[in-house]
Structure 1
Amino acid sequence: MSAEQATTAAPRRNGGDLAVETLHALGARTVFGIPGQHALGLFDALSRSPLEFVSNRVENNAAFAADGYARGTGEVGVLFLSTGPGALTSLAGLQEAYATGVPLVVVASQIPLSGLGARRKGMLHQLDDQKASARNVTKAQFTVHHASGIPSAIQDAWAEAVTVPQGPVWVEIPQDVLLGEVLVPPVEDALAVPYDHPPRAELVDESVRWLRDAQRVAIVAGGGVRRSGRAAMESLREVAELLQAPVVCSPGGNTAFPWEHPLSLGGWVEDRLVTDLLEDAEVLLVVGSSLGEVTSNYFTLEPRGRLIQVDAEPRVLETNHPTLGVRADAGQALEALAAALRESGPVAEDAPVWHGRTPAEVVAETMGRVAARLDAQDLGVERRFMADIRAAVPSTMQTYWDMTIAAYWAWNCWDAQDGEFHSAQGAGGLGYGFPAAFGGAVGLAHQGRTGIDGRVLAVAGDGSAMYSIAELAAARQHDAAVTWLIIDDGGYGILREYMEGAFGKATATELDRPDFQALAASFGVPAETVGVEDVRGALERAFQADGPNVVVVQTRLAMWAPSHLGEAPEV
């Protein structure tokens, strides 16, 4: 059947209608993706649906955009994919959502039922097992074999996506099931409730015993705390204050604990001085973090005390260190710990529990030593650059960071304040920043946010920018309020730095690149190129404009040198 025949032959209500009706009944408002031959029934149904379709240019970027929409709005992101090449192209974007715990429902088309598992037909876009391709980057996968099963499959997928640990869920529907006439009445009501994951009582009791018996307690707050919402953050603060425990936030946990708090170590998880403090704790409480590569300071963290790890994903418990593992939602666990600790009363604030010093004194001294070490390095350009961006960005603005040297700095030193910090550190793939920010801007607009309140910032290097440059067309088409800061250093900057540090020279890191300002203009997107010293003013001007715009800064940034591994903490 040709594409034209498929379109004209489609009945008034088909399987695609059941899919979009179910999504709308579940609360979806926006769909990202790209049409495809086997998905025509799905896209035809969109024309009869209140769902708004956002047309991307590359499926991988569509996955990033749905991810950014979900992070920016707190809603479930929805992604429509075509069969074969379209589905496969999305996988790197889905890996980021899977690694970071972002709830997405992915609806992918499939070849007709008669061809599933059969190579003899040689159908266009055919894969031996398309669902298997998605298995490494999604929480669960469903194949629908008849139209009446579409609502239940999508409802189940939605419930799975929003259940902690959240993540993308894959539903694939064959072409003939999408196009076939249905007798099922329109879907008017659908309910998908997340499964509950409270902590077990005996684990809470044992954790409290460990924490109460310890003189030195420190806390790592991960992305699970932040994703659990404001109540979880308030419980974290109460636990920290009751225990007088220093708190450091992972990159995913940025904003989980206020940086201005006297017990806050900010986000300096990659500084050995902070790692030393965590290692010196008698009990280290890790909530909503796998203690992965970045948060563990590249697996150099070796706690000398006991470790309590709270996470909704059971596979991360006890994987990197022996621990008292508490499989639970971070918010529910923190609420339970706070209630139990509250009953036994707070630790005296002036108790000399850290080698004769109060926890607040230890935090202040550690952060002072971090600052002094940075002062001793030639990092004036980098520190001013990050400070200028922070000064330009309104306190409530959401920011999206690609894998670039500026993001490595931001993981540690960016105080998101009242906004949200989003980065690609989960899977670490290039090209995340701009399409995710585009998705976030679309979501804020749909929530009624206008002007600077609905604007977001994307930060990328020139290398990662080329992965997502086509989405300038999508941003222009949908008039998205996104400002894209491109740091043009002529190559893959962080890889250049790694190779020069390891081998004394860099190989294959230098790149020819376009005139980004002229290229943006060709898409009808305003752009400005400025020196590193002028980034604040350029961003402030861009934030006052309408629609998408680009700021290009041509500079090379460096990373800070780590302190000596195993340096004894002065506490």
Structure 2
Amino acid sequence: MSRRNGGDLVVEALAGLGARTVFGIPGQHALGLFDALGRSPLQFVSSRVENNAAFAADGYSRATGEPGVLFLSTGPGALTALAGLQEAYATGVPVVVVASQVPAAGLGGTRKGMLHQLDEQTAAAAQVTKTQRTVRTASAIGPALRSAWAEATAAPAGPVWVEVPQDLLLADTDLPATAAAAVAPVGPQPLAPELVTEASRLLAAARRPAIIAGGGVRRAGAEEALAALAERLEAVVVCSPGGHGAYPWEHPLSLQSWIEDRHVTDVLEDADVLLAVGTSLGEVTSNYFTMAPRGRLVQIDAEARVLGSNHPGLGLHADARTALELLSAALEPLDVGASDWHGKTARARVAATLDAVRDRLDGQELGHERAFMQALRDGVPEDAQTFWDMTIAAYWGWSCWDSRRGGFHSAQGAGGLGYGFPAALGAAVGLSGTRNAGRVLAVSGDGSAMYSIAELATARQHDANVTWVIVDDGGYGILREYMTDTFGAATATELARPDFVALAESFGVPARRVEPGDVREALEQAWTASGPNVIVVPTLLRMFAPTHLA
């Protein structure tokens, strides 16, 4: 048998678990990992900044439904990735992180002065990963990765951290490769039947039922179960930003995703039973904590910590699909009354509310912004996977983007800048060669684009089919608006920036600058190309106000 080391045990275990792609950057303590990668079937995507590698692993997972895999070096490399992992942790995205460590003699700070040394590297990762473990023997590598894989994919999904000392990765081994094995994730314990009975009783008796569908609905594949329950109850449904696509946009019971609109908040407050599925009812979903439900709340979530964290209610600790199917079954023998929203049907209340939302927007002179968002939507196919930075276009997208048959992914979980382009890059790599292969859209502002501009080299190196739209308004646009509205003037929001077209072309990436009215045509042309391309749109977008302006 040819020479093998501890790194081989890592990559063999990952391949056996079903991994296809690894993201990361080589580092001194991780050289054993990368030496082994050269002998493995795993594809490696080399980012230019570790944080962007974490975003790419996140985007890969969202697009493919598989865990992302991230290789990190010790100390600075590991720490640089933490902001990206915070997004995956906050949004429930499974990522398996394999980080190197200093040689075993330096673990815990027992020997000082080693390069990149952190006394407790796992402690740094503990705030942004579900579990952390340090492997200390070669025979523990395979079992550790199997456990990590199961933990990453178990509801609530999220990133997990496995670290291996440098000397263990480099040491020769004659251990056999970890046997290929499917690992079944372990979810929450079975729901208590009395809680299902009580929740179904409340829903059956409701006359003004409403449902908030969060990201947990999508992660659990619970779209059909949600639709069936909403039809049975004749309940109005609104999707959170993370829940985009969980419910059909044009359904007559759909309030779409206008979760930040006060008219929609009024509907949710007026519900006599509000069912929140796969959402913590956090800052954005609660319209910045202004929503105050007057009826009973039933909350379903795979993360026990969020149940009742923002509003008291009946909490069901379960993944969305399991709980919704159990509720539907429990409702079957019950007499479900007709909805009555103060003399209106649920569908009439939805239609009137959406009319009010449109009237509000009409009164705010936002035709430019609405036309721009429509041009983005019309310029890409119905099944396009889209990835958005924390930028004004994304904030509009939270409310107005119709995912149709595609996906809407933004960094609203943790709110870090620079997510859109590297996440889209990871998605494009993951979808390449699959039946869902296609071009992926990334949308950034000029400020957030600078966080990930180096990944143009990665996109070119791996020929990723990503179209990157950069909305250039000369600074941090949303912060400029917040400060101007609050203080009358903005400070430190204006930015010197490069010629994005020339910069992209210097990486060998085709780019063009277009006016807002030409965005749809530019996107349609970009979608026929191969490899990465960039569209720069110089324009100023304004945010809508959630209520009528005085």
Q: TM-score surpassing 0.5? A: yes
Give the structure 2 partner of residue 298 of structure 1. 288
Deviation string, structure 1 residues 16-38 (Cα, Å, up to 9, x no partner): 11100000000000000000000
Say if 1:103 and 1:166, in contact at 8 Å, map to a contact too. Answer: yes
- From 231, 236, 243, the equivalent of 1:241 is 231
Q: Retained in 2: the 8 A contact 1:402–1:432?
A: yes
Which residue does 2:154 correspond to in 1? 163
Q: What is the match of residue 207 of structure 2?
A: 215
Q: Is the 8 A contact 2:156 2:302 kept in 1?
A: yes
After TM superposition, give the deviation of residue 345 of structure 1 in Å. 5.3
Please give the per-residue CA displacement for 1:205-249, whole angstroms capped at 9, x wherever unaligned: 0001111122111000000001111xx111111111111110000
* Cα shift at 1:260: 1.0
1:61 correspondence with 2:48: no
Q: Distance in 2 between matches of 1:409 and 1:460?
A: 13
Shift of 1:347: 4.2
Q: CA deviation at 1:346?
A: 5.0
Of 505, 515, 521 in structure 2, the residue corresponding to residue 521 of structure 1 is 505
Structure 2 residue corresponding to 1:39, chosen from 15, 30, 47: 30
SS at match of 1:258: coil
Tell me how far apart the structure 1 counterparts of residues 269 and 11 of structure 2 sit (CA, whole Å). 51
Residue 321 of structure 1 deviates from its aligned partner by 0.8
Counterpart of 2:140 in structure 1 is 149
1:389-538 to structure 2, matched below 5 A, reads 389-447=376-434, 449=436, 453-538=437-522
Name the counterpart of 1:314: 304
- SS at the partner of 1:107? strand
- Quote the Cα distance in structure 2 between the aligned partners of 1:78 and 1:278: 39
**Where does residue 326 of structure 1 map in the other structure?**
316
3-state SS of paired residue (2:69): strand
Cα contact 1:248–1:264 (8 A) shared by 2 = yes
2:506 is matched by which residue type in structure 1? Answer: S
Q: 1:562 offset after TM fit, Å?
A: 1.8
Q: Matches of residues 78-227 of structure 1 in structure 2 within 5 Å? A: 78-118=69-109, 120-197=111-188, 198-227=190-219
Deviation at 1:193, TM superposition (A): 1.1
User: Would you say 1:370 and 2:370 are equivalent positions?
Assistant: no
What is the deviation of 1:119? 5.6
Cα distance in 2 between the residues matched to 1:459 and 1:342 = 44
1:276 CA drift (Å): 0.6
Task: Report the AA paired with residue 411 of structure 1.
Answer: W
State the alpha-carbon separation in 1 of the partners of residues 15 and 271 from structure 2: 49
Structure 1 counterpart of 2:344, from 342, 350, 357:
357
Q: Is the 8 A contact 1:242 1:345 kept in 2?
A: no
Amino acid at match of 1:253: G
Structure 2 unpaired stretches of 5+: none
Secondary structure of 1:293's counterpart equals: coil
Gaps of 5+ in 1: 1-10
The yes-or-no answer on 1:251 pairing with 2:241 is yes
Letter in 2 for 1:206: E
For residues 306 and 161 of structure 2, the distance between their equivalents in structure 1, rounded to whole angstroms, comes to 22
Cα separation, 2, equivalents of 1:561 and 1:251: 17
Q: Secondary structure at the match of 2:332?
A: helix
Contact 2:156 2:187 in 1 (8 A): no
Q: How has the CA–CA distance of structure 1 residues 95 and 17 changed in structure 2, closer, same or farther, with 3 Å as cutoff?
A: same
Aligned mates of 1:438, 1:346 — CA distance in 2: 47
- Contact 1:241–1:346 (Cα < 8 Å) also in 2: no
Q: Where do 4+ consecutive residues of structure 1 move more than 4 Å? A: 345-348
From 317, 329, 335, give the equivalent of 1:339: 329
- Assess if the C-alpha contact under 8 Å between 1:81 and 1:87 holds in 2: yes
Q: Distance between the aligned counterparts of 1:282 and 1:21, measured in 2? A: 54
**Counterpart AA for 1:259:** W
Contact persistence 1:487–1:555 (CA under 8 A): yes
- In 1, Cα distance between equivalents of 2:371 and 2:144: 51
CA apart distance, 1:342: 2.5
Per-residue CA deviation, residues 484-518 of structure 1 (Å, 9 max, x unaligned), is: 00000000001011101110110000000000000
Aligned residues: CA RMSD = 1.3
Which residue matches 1:563? 547
Give 1:446 deviation, angstroms.
3.9
Return the offset for 1:561.
1.3
Whether the 8 Å contact between 1:497 and 1:506 is mirrored in structure 2 is yes
Partner of 2:16: 25
> What number of residue pairs does the alignment pair up?
548
For residues 406-465 of structure 1, give each alpha carbon's deviation from its aligned partner in whole angstroms, at most 9, with x where no partner exists.
Answer: 00000000010000111100000000000000000000104255xxx5100000000000
Query: 2:64 is matched with which residue?
Result: 73
Given the two structures, how large is their TM-score scaled by the length of structure 1?
0.94
Contact 1:101–1:165 (8 Å) recurs in 2: yes
In structure 2, the partner of 1:8 is none
* CA distance in 2 between partners of 1:268 and 1:196 (Å): 31
CA contact (8 A) 2:204 2:336 kept: no
Output the CA distance in 2 between the equivalents of 1:116 and 1:515.
46
Normalised by the length of structure 2, the TM-score is 0.98
Partner of 1:5: none
Mapped to 1, the partners of 2:360 and 2:404 lie a distance apart of: 25
1:344 Cα deviation from its structure 2 partner: 2.4
Whether contact under 8 Å (1:239, 1:334) holds in the other structure is yes
Aligned to 2:371: 384
Amino acid at match of 2:191: P
Give 1:399 deviation, angstroms: 0.3
User: For 1:343, what is the secondary structure of its paired residue?
Assistant: coil
Per-residue Cα deviation, 1:379-408 (whole angstroms, up to 9, x for no partner)? 010000001111111001100000000000
